[in-house]
Structure 1
Amino acid sequence: MIPKSLLLLFTTSILIGSCTLLGAAGLTSQGQPTKTTPHQLTSTTANSVVNVDHASWDKILKTYVDATGDVDYKSLKDNREELQKYLKYVSGMQPNDNWSVQELLAFYINLYNAYTVDLIVENYPVKSIKDISGAWTKAIVPIGGRTLSLGGIENGVLRKMNEPRIHFAINCSSVSCPKLLNEAYTAGKINEQLDKATREFINSEKNQISENSLKLSSIFDWYKSDYLINGNESVIDFINPYTDIKISKNATIDYLDYNWNLNE
């Protein structure tokens, strides 16, 4: 039986329409390793017992995702075999504490994105991921002897790694989401890739930024506490290093409506 406090959290998450509908499976790591990301993350493959090969996912992304992050789900549905092979490969891995933080970040970001794309392909044609029952709460991702939900990967694993840039790397297949990068994340490029994804999203049309007024994606509202790390006292402190405009600490902040239509 779900405790009342958990039930309230779950109900609230549904009401705000977040891409992390927090079910019970989404609140803990479900046994997955969650290392804390250092303040100065470096990209490297040198300090991990395992280097996962994401080449097949990279090929899929380059084939079916354009430079703006739009996905050709129709064509991918007709050629789903390679995606299924990649999902079987990554689900056969068993991440542990001997994996580096770089390897873990790349692995779980790719895992989340690949299973989200496959979920859309399985249900295609569909107008929105929100039309798929239990999209973030059903346990559909087998990994390390357990089965996680997409919400479990995001909330139970990635958000616990103290790296707010993951919110601009994982993609919920919607127009207002940060774009799906058309290359796989890898330990050898993870810091640069996260920086690129963050900078591109913040400076995109999905936010309206001026010195004294901000109209931001709801992502900055839903996960507000995640950005208050490394000395940041506000969302503005997090955003400022990524913009060409110096934002005033007293700038007003409003949040934009989220467009959940499919990113195709």
Structure 2
Amino acid sequence: MKKFILSFSILISGACMFASCNLISSAGLSSKGLPTSEAPEDLTSTTANSAVNVDHSTWDALLKKHVSANGMVDYKGFQKDRAKLDEYLKMLSSMEPSNDWSVQEQLAYYINLYNAHTVDLILRNYPVKSIKDIDGAWTDGFVKIGKTTISLGGIENSILRKMNEPRIHFAINCASISCPKLLNEAYTAGKINEQLDKVTKEFINSDKNEISKTSPKVSSIFDWYKKDFQQNGTVVDYINKYSTTKINSGVTLSYKDYDWNLNEAK
């Protein structure tokens, strides 16, 4: 019996370590009834096909002011602008996404919602060395959308990942060094396809990966969410779409350790 308990404990411990990103695909497995339109394979940027065009200009100005070109965040600067951030979050909360919104508007809204609330979460717990030091960072329901309350994990796993657009993994930011960088501009329906392409190319060709033809070592994101990247081929096929260095077919990927230290500008 003791041997069984020990083995079971080791199994659970290993599972928890594997799922530590944001309790990877188990956090908040409910969309709370919020709409999740699927993006077409040939997504285009447009504001012309939606009942609503959300104004993200306040968030855009904050990002341009407090986030560097390489994605490092001036959280102390954000603290001084809490009133503007609160105003933006309140505006997002007052919106009620519906199926009358275009997929472009939904993508921009949910990505900005996730990123803005992640910044707010850090500010509410600042100073903090890592988002993983915050209990319930991805599982607690603190994001308000109309009368609905949802977790960050719920937004990612039950809304954004259901929208048939793997590039969202390079747009949402988990406030950590190894995460795809926080883009220093707001996502908008009028630029969404170009923005998603930009952050995907930048991440894949950055030092977050060590890409070579025969021995690539890539971000653990490609391991945690591999099913999302296998919609039209292998994970290697997906990486090769954006990588300047092409990985040979059939090569086995290895994965880099994830640095969960805060992405704070020094």
Query: TM-score when scaled to structure 1?
Result: 0.92
Superposed displacement of residue 11, structure 1? 8.0
1:138 matched to which residue of 2? 140
Superposed displacement of residue 24, structure 1? 7.3
Of 68, 79, 82, the residue aligned with 1:80 is 82
1:64 matched to which residue of 2? 66
Select between 241-250 and 177-186 the one with higher mean Cα deviation: 241-250
Distance in 2 separating the partners of 1:262 and 1:25:
21
Distance in 1 separating the partners of 2:108 and 2:144:
17
Of 71, 77, 92, the residue aligned with 1:90 is 92
Q: Does structure 1 residue 160 correspond to structure 2 residue 166? A: no
1:125 matched to which residue of 2? 127
Gap change, CA 1:147 and 1:255, over 3 Å in 2 = same
Gap change, CA 1:78 and 1:152, over 3 Å in 2 = same
2:256 matched to which residue of 1? 256
Deviation readout 1:15-54 (Å, 9 max, x if unpaired): 2254322697711211110011101100000000000000
Deviation readout 1:118-143 (Å, 9 max, x if unpaired): 00011111000000110000001001
Task: Could you tell me which runs of 5 or more consecutive residues in structure 2 were left unpaired when the two chains were aligned.
Answer: 1-11
Supply the AA of the counterpart residue of 1:120.
I
Gap change, CA 1:80 and 1:40, over 3 Å in 2 = same
2:235 matched to which residue of 1? 235
Count of paired positions: 253
Distance in 2 separating the partners of 1:175 and 1:51:
32
Of 35, 40, 44, the residue aligned with 1:38 is 40
Does the residue aligned with 1:57 lie in a helix, a strand or coil?
Answer: helix
- The Cα RMSD (Å) is 1.6
Cα contact 2:24–2:224 (8 A) shared by 1: no
Distance in 2 separating the partners of 1:133 and 1:163:
29
2:186 matched to which residue of 1? 184
Supply the AA of the counterpart residue of 1:214.
P
2:4 matched to which residue of 1? none
Gap change, CA 1:24 and 1:241, over 3 Å in 2 = closer
Distance in 2 separating the partners of 1:101 and 1:70:
29
Cα contact 1:20–1:154 (8 A) shared by 2: no
Of 207, 210, 218, the residue aligned with 2:209 is 207
Gap change, CA 1:130 and 1:260, over 3 Å in 2 = same
Cα contact 1:212–1:250 (8 A) shared by 2: no
Supply the AA of the counterpart residue of 2:62.
I
Does the residue aligned with 1:153 lie in a helix, a strand or coil?
Answer: helix
Superposed displacement of residue 183, structure 1? 0.1
Does the residue aligned with 2:110 lie in a helix, a strand or coil?
Answer: helix
Task: Could you tell me which runs of 5 or more consecutive residues in structure 1 were left unpaired when the two chains were aligned.
Answer: 1-9
Superposed displacement of residue 75, structure 1? 1.8
The percentage of aligned residue pairs carrying the same residue is 64
Superposed displacement of residue 14, structure 1? 3.6
Distance in 2 separating the partners of 1:14 and 1:195:
32
Select between 21-30 and 180-189 the one with higher mean Cα deviation: 21-30
Does the residue aligned with 1:208 lie in a helix, a strand or coil?
Answer: coil
Superposed displacement of residue 246, structure 1? 2.1
Gap change, CA 1:13 and 1:151, over 3 Å in 2 = farther
Q: Does structure 1 residue 147 correspond to structure 2 residue 155? A: no
Distance in 2 separating the partners of 1:155 and 1:13:
18
Of 18, 21, 24, the residue aligned with 1:19 is 21
Does the residue aligned with 2:216 lie in a helix, a strand or coil?
Answer: strand
Superposed displacement of residue 12, structure 1? 7.1
Query: TM-score when scaled to structure 2?
Result: 0.92
Gap change, CA 1:64 and 1:123, over 3 Å in 2 = same
Deviation readout 1:184-206 (Å, 9 max, x if unpaired): 00000000000000000000000
Cα contact 1:13–1:20 (8 A) shared by 2: no
Cα contact 1:164–1:226 (8 A) shared by 2: yes
